[in-house]
Amino acid sequence: MMTDNPVFCALDTQDTAQASQLANTLSGHIGGLKIGMEFFYAAGVAAYQNIADTGLPIFLDLKLHDIPNTVASAVKALCPLEPAILNVHAAGGLDMMRAASNAAKDTATEKDITPPLMIAVTVLTSLEAKDLDQIGVSATPREQVLRLADLAQQAGMGGVVCSAHEVEALRNQCGADFKLIVPGIRPAGHAADDQKRIMTPEAAMKAGADILVIGRAITQADDPAQAASAIASSLGYA
């Protein structure tokens, strides 16, 4: 179940106790939690379930990327965890994304559960034009994001992960119902760290983002709950 608050906090840690404490501390101040590879691979399904028991929607950020059959099988294995959002890499191609989308729907029907919102990662927010050029992509980040988002929409994906800098163009291209999940969010005054294409929460929402993924600005704050509340309040979600 999704909430109105668009802020999802990234629990990027291998420390299960820390993650659990943060999840409980932040409950009521955020819209959901993002669990990525670092936590899921280190802690496993039981620890994931412990976090999910907070009742907050979970974005399971595993960025699946393999041949279509393998990704479809992975989606089938993950759907019973009932994440609100599950993602794949759009670079895996149209057939892979379509297989993932179909697997989510089929598994949800079979298990009588709500299917996750299936989304595709376009271009990581740690990449810029020179990084794409190094791997043989001559397009600009914006051009590549728009191209991959079009493929994702054709494949039945419900949205994409993108930087805030592509949100307005994607909204125009993909329509109002296509969900735009945006990492690389930094409140004013916070360091960019390893992100390159960043934006403040207010600017990202104004551009048309649906969900903001925010990690260190919340988790490394002296008072994570207060930091999360301040961001939500700045967006009109007190």
Catalytic residue among 4, 53, 66, 130: 66
Q: Which of 4, 15, 53, 61 is an active site residue? A: 61
Instruction: Return binding residues.
Output: 12, 34, 61-70, 125, 186, 195, 215-216
Binding residues for substrate: 12, 34, 61-70, 125, 186, 195, 215-216
Token pair for 120: 């595709």
- The amino acid occupying position 35 is I
C-alpha separations of 127 from 107, 134, 142, 144, 197 in Å: 34, 10, 11, 11, 8
150 is catalytic: no
DSSP string for residues in 76-106: HHHGGG--SEEEEEGGG-HHHHHHHHHHHHH
Find the DSSP H helices in 94-190.
94-111, 129-134, 141-154, 167-174
The yes-or-no answer on residue 15 being catalytic is no
- HSE, CB side, 13 Å, CA atoms: give it for residue 35: 33
Per the annotation, the verdict on 130 as an active-site residue is: no
By three-state DSSP, how is residue 15 classified? coil
Residue of 63, 105, 196, 206 marked catalytic: 63
End-to-end CA distance of the chain: 20
Lookup: tokens for 142: 């914006």
Rounded CA separation 2/84 (Å): 7
| φ, ψ at 136 (rounded to 5°) | 85, 15
Show which residues are catalytic.
61, 63, 66
